[in-house]
Each structure stands twice: as structure tokens, then as C-alpha cells.
Amino acid sequence: MIWEVDWGKVIVDDVRRMHWTTAARICSAVIEFGRTGKGPVRRVQPQDPRRLELSVSGATAYLFLDFDLGVVRVQRIFSR
């Protein structure tokens, strides 16, 4: 399944505060996850398959999967 990625308004600010290489890595990983459904993800809560954490070197994105609409909603992105 190919997912549409919904970048919330707060994500723009999250990404602008990061070093550009870290921002590129995390954004690319989110896009790749939306395209393939694969990536460095884990469930935030084991019983809830909709809430995921996607991590790359230097950053973590919190995602919410809307199965009905086929949308990955990026909730926040943090530098680590």
C-alpha cells in the first residue's frame, strides 16, 4: 500500500530547527515509509498498530496511520 504523507504545520518548524542533513535524513525516511511501508519503525504502544516511531541517526518522527484514508500523519519530529 502506498500511503499519502500529511505533514502538519508544526512539522515545518520542527524541521527548520534541525541541521539540514538530519532534516533530510528523517524526511527521506518518512517519505520512503509512505512509499513502501518499510523503514526503521516501531510501535509506540504494542497494542496500537496506528502509532509508530520512525528513527534515523539524529532524529525521530512520531507517526499516526489512518488506515481508512491511507494517510500517514506526521505528528512531531525531534532531534536526538
Task: Report pLDDT for 25.
Answer: 97
pTM for the full model? 0.93
pLDDT in tens, 47-80: 999 999 999 999 999 999 999 999 999 999 999 8
Every domain of the chain and the residues it spans = 4-79
- Of 72, 69, 70, 74, nearest in space to 9 by CA: 74
Topology adopted by domain 4-79: YaeB-like fold (3.30.2310)
CB 43: neighbour CB atoms within 10 A? 12
The alpha carbon of residue 14 and the mean position of all alpha carbons in its chain are separated, in whole angstroms, by 12
Contacts of 10 (CB under 8 A, 6+ apart): 76
